[in-house]
Structure 1
Amino acid sequence: MPIALLALALGGFGIGTTEFVAMGILPEVAEDYGVSIPTAGYMISGYALGVVIGAPVLAAVGARVDRKHLLMALMGAFTLGNLASALAPNFEFLLAARFLTALPHGTFFGVGAVVAASLVPVTKRAQAVSLMIAGLTVANIVGVPLGTAVSHAFGWRATYLLVTAVGVVTLLALAAWVPSQKPHPGTSVRAELGALKRGQVWLALAVGAVGFGGMFASYSYISPMMTDVAGFGAGAVTLILAVYGVGMTLGNLVGGRAADRWSLMPTMYVCMAAIAAVLLLMHAVASYKAPAVAAVFLLGFAGSALIPSLQMRLMNAASDAPTLAAALNHAALNIANAAGAWLGGLVIAAGYGYTAPNLMGAGLAVVGLGLALVSGLLDRRSPGGGPGAGAVRGAAEPAHAH
């Protein structure tokens, strides 16, 4: 695989670290600014909001920009946002900094997915995309625990300075390894936004927002599930989350290979069904330590295995506007994060206990599977096999040299 994929994965590592480490440093942030932990949690929801808003806007605005230059501009903004977070003089400034840091998130992955797909043969495109996304999954194994440890030792500001350093290294790697890549001559803001008129694009986004929301309904409450139900001590939660991260990393790589060697839609069907099955399993074994940890691993594996095929499905459904489609995938996943956590919280608040979000999540995953099946059925009825049969425009084009 081309070394340029390492630069893209490094960017994914930095983005994943800054997104997920917020959960681990909330107490320090709350104490430093004299706010409650729930109030400090606004920095998490503010980041998610930034991803949802930034993905379509920046992808459309940057449609005619050289993809390498756009990636560097996005990573530059991300790096400055983390530096501003580290230096935030008050909580309101920190909220604004987290929102601005999140704006490039979805577009970086969207542009990066198109670039990654362009660097390899058509038969390896999903694997290339999965290698870029691997940076995000590895962040859950290395970046988040490291960032949390740095926060405990040197303060939460040091954590954001560490991510700032990752951003600087990523900028250097992008400059050195990613080839210049001009957008297709017909690319425009109108063409990118025109992809939103297609039903298959919205169906794919719905699969991600609803189906992946099932996974987040459970994942958001893994900590109390593991302590109050399975009986682990609070100190074990970090290791359990690392197990989840290992599952994510392996599932992402296996999912990318399956999407290339098998086909996109069957891979999506299997992954959505697997998420539902694993959530039902987790509900059944949550009281038993070893099986509960195994179920956490399987949840990370099944959920992450879905992402490469979902990413490629969107890029194919909007083959003449792949950047926007790929960026919107991450907006949909952040909607899944927020909605899944909210729905999981509702069943807990209703008195059904900490395992109830697993059943809620399984139901959402089944709905996501139904949406995927509808999308596949529409493919068969359309001439030429639908979007899954086509290739992303520009994904097989040779990259322009420096």
Structure 2
Amino acid sequence: MVDVFRTSVLFSRERLLLLILAMVQLTNVLDFVVMMPLGPQFMRYFSISPQAFGMMVSSYTFSAAIFGFLGAFFIDRFDRRVALLVLYAGFTLGTFCCALAPTYELLTLARSLAGAFGGIIGAVVMAIVGDAFPEARRGAATGVIMSSFSIASIAGVPFGLYLAHLLSWQAPFFMLAALSAVTWLGAFCLLPPLTRHLQCAVLASPIDEIRLVLSLPNTLRAFAFMSTLMLAGFSVIPFISPYMVGNVGLSESDLPYIYLFGGFATFFTSRYIGVLSDRYGKKLTFQVVAFCSVVPILLLTTLPRVPTFLALAVTTLFMVLISGRFVPAVALVTSSVVSRHRGSFMSLIASVQKLSSGLASFLAGLVIGKGHGQALTNYWVVGVFASLMTLLCIFLVEWIKPADAPASTDEPATPIPVTERV
């Protein structure tokens, strides 16, 4: 009876921790995805070109990549609770500065500030998931965290666009800053200290820490795997909206439905895929979902003019399988390093992801051309490239080994007790 009670309390604390982490990740994701639909307003308000808008979006990505790399030198030397609270406070400040920015240059600087903190937050969140949830439940926990993108797409983007049209482009950032501040207070009051990774001796220098992380057998394999996975996704994703309008025939007013239906579907499928990855294995689940994702990739990048409902069916299937393959992939990568080095490792992974996504968009931009009117050309070439990268990922995932199997002495198969301050 006592064991049953303790198990019930533990699961309740895990759910509370997961709720806080999901809210942190939701605001972090929403800050990034809300920028894309606001592009026309930014270009009109600041009188800037599409290239200048692209530079403003990229400022977040490159800042996140740079500071993600720098954060890897230090992140494992602090209580994960303290690290998350400090980084999230900086992210909230950066988002608030975006709302106050009066010029294009200051807004770009504010986006860089938000990216500097936001890029590391995701790594810390996943490190906490890896520390606090055992291997047997880590896939399901990762699925909940990954569903933050779905919620952002379902509610955040449409509501942000509504506020922007009703008031101004600043309104979504004021709303997001307020939501982030409330979430920060909740995290401050409810998050327990997370210091188990500090029980091991700290290395003499941050350089030694990174050198050790890079020397781990799984590190370079995980880098290659995640980099290839980002190339397979972000070569296609940035050009979906222009292709849907210029080639498929959707109107700009139809574009929010891509996020709405896709986000609604992935809200359920991401968590279900997380459960499947715990039940049948993360590698097998990833390989099946990734192989299936080749179908919507090729459909989407070759889609002719079709009725709106058919176009939305293809984009929804694309979002379900593209986001779905990330669930077992992230859970597997999180499990590939022991707790002591997980923060630094995930920060490096986040940096690799940002750089790879930027490279994917750049390479796709070199291939894609402009046809008659708003039509894009050679998008199918990008689809073939993304499909080949996906198939390569199915091969690369076999080389990633879990570091926290029950036989390991460095990472137990039981979760960290979440007992303090909860």
The answer to whether structure 1 residue 370 and structure 2 residue 383 are counterparts is no
SS of residue in 2 equivalent to 1:327: helix
Aligned length: 396
Q: C-alpha distance in 2, partners of 1:178/1:74?
A: 14
**2:128 counterpart letter in structure 1:** V
Structure 1 residues 330 and 270 mapped into 2: Cα distance closer, same or farther (>3 Å)? farther
- 1:310 alignment counterpart: 329
Q: C-alpha distance in 1, partners of 2:391/2:77?
A: 35
Aligned Cα root-mean-square deviation (Å): 2.7
**1:345 counterpart letter in structure 2:** G
Q: C-alpha distance in 1, partners of 2:26/2:137?
A: 22
- In the superposition, the TM-score normalised over structure 1's length comes to 0.89
- In the superposition, the TM-score normalised over structure 2's length comes to 0.85
Structure 1, unmatched stretches of 5+, are: 380-384
8 A contact 1:9–1:136 mirrored in 2: no
Tell me which moved more, 279-288 or 257-266: 279-288
Q: CA deviation at 1:284?
A: 4.9
Q: CA deviation at 1:22?
A: 1.1
Deviations 1:342-399 (A, max 9, x none): 33333321769647435423433433432442451x46xxxxx664857784883323
Q: C-alpha distance in 2, partners of 1:202/1:277?
A: 29
The answer to whether structure 1 residue 144 and structure 2 residue 157 are counterparts is yes
**2:147 counterpart letter in structure 1:** A
- 1:230 alignment counterpart: 248
Q: What pairs up with 1:268-279 in 2 under 5 angstroms?
A: 268-279=286-297
Structure 1 residues 119 and 200 mapped into 2: Cα distance closer, same or farther (>3 Å)? closer
Q: What pairs up with 1:100-111 in 2 under 5 angstroms?
A: 100-111=113-124
8 A contact 2:71–2:347 mirrored in 1: no
Structure whose CA Rg is larger? 2
- 2:346 alignment counterpart: 326
Structure 1 residues 14 and 135 mapped into 2: Cα distance closer, same or farther (>3 Å)? same
Q: What pairs up with 1:260-275 in 2 under 5 angstroms?
A: 260-275=278-293
The answer to whether structure 1 residue 294 and structure 2 residue 307 are counterparts is no
Q: C-alpha distance in 2, partners of 1:388/1:255?
A: 21
Structure 1 residues 358 and 145 mapped into 2: Cα distance closer, same or farther (>3 Å)? farther
8 A contact 2:157–2:259 mirrored in 1: no
Tell me which moved more, 391-400 or 306-315: 391-400
Q: CA deviation at 1:134?
A: 1.9
**2:256 counterpart letter in structure 1:** T
Q: C-alpha distance in 1, partners of 2:229/2:24?
A: 26
Structure 1 residues 16 and 267 mapped into 2: Cα distance closer, same or farther (>3 Å)? same
SS of residue in 1 equivalent to 2:193: coil
Deviations 1:12-59 (A, max 9, x none): 111111101111222333333333343133221000111111223224
SS of residue in 1 equivalent to 2:199: coil
- 2:224 alignment counterpart: 206
Q: C-alpha distance in 2, partners of 1:325/1:221?
A: 31
Structure 1 residues 137 and 17 mapped into 2: Cα distance closer, same or farther (>3 Å)? same
Q: CA deviation at 1:199?
A: 5.0
Q: What pairs up with 1:25-64 in 2 under 5 angstroms?
A: 25-64=38-77
Q: CA deviation at 1:247?
A: 3.7
- 2:17 alignment counterpart: 4
Q: What pairs up with 1:377-388 in 2 under 5 angstroms?
A: 378=399, 387=403
Deviations 1:161-212 (A, max 9, x none): 1111111011012122221111332255433552223453223233222233
Structure 1 residues 27 and 274 mapped into 2: Cα distance closer, same or farther (>3 Å)? same
Structure 2, unmatched stretches of 5+, are: 1-13
8 A contact 1:275–1:302 mirrored in 2: yes
Structure 1 residues 351 and 194 mapped into 2: Cα distance closer, same or farther (>3 Å)? farther
- 1:337 alignment counterpart: 357
